[in-house]
Amino acid sequence: DAGVIQSPRHEVTEMGQEVTLRCKPISGHDYLFWYRQTMMRGLELLIYFNNNVPIDDSGMPEDRFSAKMPNASFSTLKIQPSEPRDSAVYFCASSFGNYNEQFFGPGTRLTVL
């Protein structure tokens, strides 16, 4: 299995631009999680899905952030418009069932200038 796949690995953009991060979970996994990692705040859960349905988006910082999961094998996290304070590493993780280990992707390092 290829594991959780994220793209791009690195993204540099200018303030005000739209940014879309992509994630392909492990096949067969029914949970998908989006995390953000910063030096100041550590690892934060932004949103998670179960069977493609958003369950808890209370961690999404503001309306500029949105996430979708149109099918079991693909999810996006979009920031529009982006701001310098959004600069962070964004991780996607998936798991099978809610008692099992979460497998993390390699992350996307986002830099907003």
Partner 1 sequence: AQTVTQSQPEMSVQEAETVTLSCTYDTSESDYYLFWYKQPPSRQMILVIRQEAYKQQNATENRFSVNFQKAAKSFSLKISDSQLGDAAMYFCAYRSVLNTDKLIFGTGTRLQVFP
Pairing, β 5-7 against β 103-104 = unpaired
Our finding on whether 5 is near partner 1 (CB under 8 A) is no
Residues 73-112 binding partner 1 (CB under 8 A) are 89, 91, 93, 98-99, 101-104, 106-107, 109
Nearer to partner 1, 25 or 107 (CB): 107
- For position 72 contacting partner 1 by CB under 8 A, the verdict is no
Under the criterion CB under 8 A, does residue 18 sit at the interface with partner 1?
Answer: no
CB atoms within 10 A of CB 32: 29
| CB nearer partner 1, residue 17 or residue 49 | 49
Q: Which residues bind partner 1 (CB under 8 A)?
A: 31, 33, 42-43, 45, 48, 50, 55-56, 89, 91, 93, 98-99, 101-104, 106-107, 109
